[in-house]
A and B are shown apart, each in its own frame.
Chain A
Amino acid sequence: MSTEQDKILEEVTKGEYKYGFYTDIEMDTLPKGLSEDVVREISKRKGEPEFMTEFRLEAYRNWLKMKTPEWAHLNIPEIDFQDIIYYAAPKSKPKLDSMDDVDPELKATFDKLGIPLEEQKQLAGVAVDAVMDSVSVKTTFKETLAEKGIIFCSISEAIREYPDLVKQYLGSVVPPNDNYFAALNSAVFSDGSFVYIPKGVRSPVELSTYFRINAMNTGQFERTLIVAEDDSYVSYLEGCTAPQRDENQLHAAIVEIVAMERAEVKYSTVQNWYPGDKNGKGGIYNFVTKRGLCKGDYSKISWTQVETGSAITWKYPSCVMMGDHSTGEFYSVALTNNHQQADTGTKMIHLGKNTKSLVVSKGISAGKSQNSYRGLVKVSKRAENARNFSQCDSLLLGDKCGAHTFPYLEINNNTAKVEHEATTSKIGEDQIFYCNQRGIDTEDAVGLIVNGYVKEVINKLPMEFAVEAQKLLEISLEGSVG
């Protein structure tokens, strides 16, 4: 029984990466390496105003003084930051008027990913801002959004067109000197998305961006900034898949969210960067700083993430609940297989009165992977009646993998109610037996149980994404599951 189960688990968990293809587009790149000149050059090439150049340079100078963080439960090979290309953009082409003008190769890439721009925008009503190696290629639905006053564009465009907004909010949640990778990102970020929802507007569609790392040896430094004014609502989707490549690639992104009074921002991610092959060769290093600020009273920020890719994930989407009655939520599924390592979790910082936060984290480790949850719940002295509930479960598939939990609870107010629960287990033989008894074979049973296990989180994803997320889980645990 157990050997058969092991065999199935093994089969199920050794699936290969399906999105390994490479788009051949001419690239406009800077030489490898990082210096003040490179930072200036990036800023110049992007035609940025003076304040951005200064912002970058300050971040760069801070970065020089910092050290690579070593506290995570990760084994990070030393990264040579001078061996990375910090700017790569598809060669500029004449402006595109319709879908037909989009590079056919690029279109094919997205088709393979299952997001045909053309159909999907119609069918699913999703505005896709496709980001290919850092420069925005095509933005759809812009007009519809513009009617409502919603700004949804690439961050470079925002810097040029809405410098005041960018100046006001960029770096206000994640300061340029926040941490090592945030400083690096602030210095060299190439592109990303900018979303601005004006007062009282509910975004009629779900905003979505696809990131893909494409060129060899290019660090991807995405920068996303979302500002939701009073009484607004937006749901933002971010998805990533990267082509198969042997060398490790670095991805150090920043996402900043500001939610004003009664605003609600929902941020969903499906991350499927290339995880490396079965022997742990290659794969993306995913070092991301994501933080949301519930600035106004009654505001709400919700993070949902499905992490299946990357060789190393270092990511803690956090909420700072500054406004009274504000809410922070974090739902996460992190799946690691083969030699993947993940150290992910959240920080819930309660500053305002009557703030609430919820953490649901589901880790799945298979193969020889290491999967850690690391989270902080902090209740400051003035945060009266703060409420937190955290649940962190780990599921182990295989006896060579590891599942770890490192929660930190720092409570400085006696009216706080903070609870943390964690369990670690493998799929019970009794559960499998129960399924077998009812005519479900072991393979399907494993799929059923894994699906049931993550359902609480998947349910939080928007429809289109939930489907894809399940697909990615399947791929990571091989197609037979699910």
Chain B
Amino acid sequence: MENLIKNIIGKDISLVELFEENRSKIEEQSFSVLNDQREEAFDAFQELGIPSNKVESYKYTNLQPLFTGDFTFSLKPETLTENVEDIFSCDVDTLDSITIYMVNGWYYTRNNPGDLPQGVRIGSLARLAEEDPDFLARYYGSRAPHLSDGVVALNTMFAQDGFFVHVPEGVVVEKPIQIVNILMSEDALMTTQRNLVVMEDNSEARIMVCDHTLTTNKFVMNSVTEGFVGKEARLDFYNLQNQHNATTQVAGLYFEQHERSHLATNNLTLHAGVARNNIELKLAGEHAEGHAYGLYLLDKNQHVDNFSYIDHAVPECFSDELFKGVLDDHSTGSFTGKIMVRPDAQKTNAYQSNNNLLLTNDAKMNTRPQLEIYADDVKCSHGATVGQLDEDAMFYLRTRGINKEESTILLMYAFAYEVIEKIKVEPLREQIRALVEKRFRGELDKCHSCVVCGQKGTDLSCL
């Protein structure tokens, strides 16, 4: 891994100094579209820093200690001797997908997405910045709040690569697009990934992002995805998180939707160390429909913070949010659902729900379902619950001769299924369904075989 510039972050060198030291090198190997925003982001970052729990939107996740410590910082792409496909294979075997790999936030050079429908581009953001800077410039940095969120500012400072998906007007991508994010390193690693999804008018696609860790080191992944869904376009975006306990992932999804577009995001957190998901949908065209779903199954000391922000900027839009969580052991969860209805965004329909099951007395859940409404002809509702399994339902099952353990599993499974059934890619749904059930049965106490995307050849445990 000599291609990494060794730098210890912590007392010796701050992220600000790290950037200053390597700035010229980064700018040299990167391209002007990306370089243009570094200065602004750097200024913002110097002011904002890594958010602590004093920042209201990060109240339940203090990132500062997680971004401190001994890390190498990934400033150059990996050169791998072996093929990623050999180390890794996807468990969803019935899934016929267009698959690409990302290693430590960098586009894997030997990727072969295969035959794509006409005009569809799937590839590296760095290459796009080099080959089609005008296209990238139209979108880059226009959604992600690099001036107000310290993590996004940090991402923008260091952004060099990531994936991009571009589906041109009227094209339907039949096969799901699968993006496998792999973290593997010999040392503790901090890295940055910057992605872009552009769906032009009338296009349709399904994207699955699977996050995995292949080595047991500490990782900090700071990923930002900006997405643009054109008129009447449809996009399903799944993020399957399956990382080991020493991973910190801040994954930001910043989408903008136009007239009559349809977007569904689904954050499935099966295993994580600390995961913070920012899900921001801006409904910028009338009759746009935005759905945000999430399921988190936590145990040990895991922590997941889903922070969603649905911005109804124009009238007649619809949004629906459903986040469900099961918390075991010492795990902590947090949910913030902010619905903003801008002045004059009349005829808005917005629904939000967050339900949580606490399985042990040490698990903690913090939830903030918030509404901010500046228009009067709207229907908005939110609900949040934290509790245990329904005693009546349990009793009902017990009276039918189902034992307590089985009843518990059944009810938990039924609880989680509400989110699982939102998955429209059938093989994925089937896989997740099976995984969740296994998880509840205690057969999956750790992510051996890395759950979805199994690991071949190595005996590395993810814990």
Contacts and interface: CB of A to CB of B under 8 A. Distances in A.
A321 B29 CA distance: 61
Contacts of B365: 409-411
A424 B368 CA distance: 16
Interface stretch (A14-22, A87-95, A147-155, A413-421): A413-421
B379 to A, nearest CB: 6
Given A403-B371, A405-B370, A415 B361 contact: yes
Contacts of B367: 408-409, 411, 420
A411 B358 contact: yes
B200 to A, nearest CB: 34
Interface residues of B, number: 36
Given A400-B343, A407-B368, A416 B387 contact: yes
Nearest to B333: A411
Nearest to B361: A414
Interface string B342-381: 0110100000000010111111111111111111111111
Nearest to A414: B358
A422 interface: yes
A385 B382 CA distance: 24
Given A399-B377, A410-B366, A423-B381, A415 B388 contact: yes
A396 B370 contact: no
B374 A402 contact: yes
A418 B371 CA distance: 19
B326 to A, nearest CB: 11
A414 B388 contact: yes
A251 B61 CA distance: 36
B170 interface: no
B386 interface: yes
A408 B358 contact: no
A417 to B, nearest CB: 4
Nearest to A410: B366
B383 A420 contact: yes
A32 interface: no
Contacts of A415: 361, 388
Given A417-B387, A420-B384, A425-B378, A394 B373 contact: yes
B344 A399 contact: yes
B56 interface: yes
A46 interface: no
A194 B82 CA distance: 79
B62 interface: no
Given A411-B358, A414-B360, A417-B387, A404 B56 contact: no
B14 interface: no
Given A402-B372, A414-B388, A422 B364 contact: no
A422 B382 contact: yes
A396 B387 contact: no
Contacts of A414: 358-361, 363, 388
A210 interface: no
A373 B361 CA distance: 29
B385 interface: yes
Contacts of B370: 404-407
A420 B388 contact: no
A396 B376 contact: yes
Contacts of B56: 71
B384 A399 contact: no
A401 interface: yes
Interface in B148-188: none
Given A418-B387, A423-B380, A399 B346 contact: yes
A406 B384 CA distance: 12
Contacts of B379: 423-425
Q: Chain A: interface residue count, which band?
A: 35 or more
B373 A404 contact: yes
Nearest to A427: B376
B384 A409 contact: yes
A424 B381 contact: yes
A381 interface: yes
A391 to B, nearest CB: 10
B374 A405 contact: no
A424 B396 CA distance: 35
A462 interface: no
Contacts of A400: 343
A408 B369 CA distance: 7
Contacts of B346: 399
A132 interface: no
Contact of A424 (B344, B356, B373, B384): B373
Contacts of A399: 343-344, 346, 375-377
Contacts of B380: 423-425
Given A408-B366, A409-B365, A411-B364, A419 B385 contact: yes
B49 to A, nearest CB: 19
A394 B375 CA distance: 12
B376 A397 contact: yes
B368 A406 contact: yes
B366 A405 contact: no
A99 to B, nearest CB: 48
- Most chain B CB atoms below 10 A, which of A394, A398, A408: A408
B402 to A, nearest CB: 22
A68 interface: no
A415 B386 CA distance: 9
A44 interface: no
A426 B376 contact: yes
Interface string B376-415: 1111111111111000000000000000000000000000
Nearest to B59: A408
B373 A403 contact: yes
A436 interface: no
A402 B378 CA distance: 11
A411 B376 CA distance: 33
A396 B373 contact: yes
A347 to B, nearest CB: 14
Nearest to A423: B381
A412 interface: yes
B322 to A, nearest CB: 15
A423 B380 CA distance: 6
B344 A411 contact: no
Contacts of B378: 396, 424-426
Contacts of A71: 56
Interface string A416-451: 111111111110000000000000000000000000
Nearest to A2: B377
Given A409-B384, A425-B379, A404 B358 contact: no
A381 B376 contact: no
Contacts of B385: 417-420
Which 6 residue pairs across A and B have the least CB separation, nearest first?
A414-B358, A396-B376, A411-B386, A405-B371, A417-B387, A424-B380
24 contacts: A396-B375, A397-B376, A401-B376, A402-B373, A404-B371, A405-B372, A407-B368, A407-B384, A408-B366, A409-B365, A414-B358, A414-B363, A414-B388, A416-B358, A416-B386, A417-B388, A420-B369, A420-B382, A421-B383, A423-B380, A423-B381, A424-B380, A424-B381, A425-B379
Given A407-B384, A416-B387, A424-B371, 20 more contacts: A71-B56, A396-B378, A398-B376, A402-B374, A403-B371, A404-B370, A405-B371, A405-B382, A406-B370, A409-B367, A411-B365, A411-B367, A412-B364, A414-B388, A419-B385, A419-B387, A421-B382, A422-B371, A422-B383, A424-B379
Interface of B: 56, 343-344, 346, 356, 358-388
